[in-house]
Amino acid sequence: MASPRSRTQLQARELRDLAHQVAVQVARNPLTEELKDRARALDSCIRAWECAADRERIAAGKPLPGSIRPEPRKRRERVPLVTQSAPVPEVESMTNSDDLHTGPATE
């Protein structure tokens, strides 16, 4: 036996196909009283099916799609990268003129 969800999907597909067939008949043939009556009856059936499917959804406790929004994410507190202030080691500067070569080597 088919699950309720697949049964509902199957019924929806069948009604959609039937509505398409009637719409094609209305478009191709002159509009007779019989065709008008069939179109009205199909419209009533589709509306009744939609109402029944909605009531079934409500009874199952399922909300409409998009009616429940996810909660906004909580912002995490920023954690500093350095937790303790450690002394920064001093770098000896290389300002000694003997270490700097500014021009071509002349010996």
Where on the phi/psi map is residue 61: left (φ > 0), alpha (ψ -120 to 50), or beta?
Answer: left
Q: Determine the length of the chain.
A: 107
Distance CA 19, CA 46 (A): 8
pLDDT, averaged across the chain:
77
- pLDDT at position 93 is 59
- pLDDT at position 39 is 87
Give pLDDT tens digits for 21-70.
888 888 888 888 988 898 888 888 888 888 888 888 888 888 888 887 77
- pTM (two decimals): 0.50
35-44, Cβ contacts within 8 angstroms, sequence gap of 24 or more: 42/18
Give the model's confidence band at 13: pLDDT under 50 very low, under 70 low, under 90 confident, else very high: confident
Classify residue 49 by burial, with Cβ atoms within 10 Å: 0-12, 13-18, 19+: middle
Distance CA 88, CA 12 (A): 72
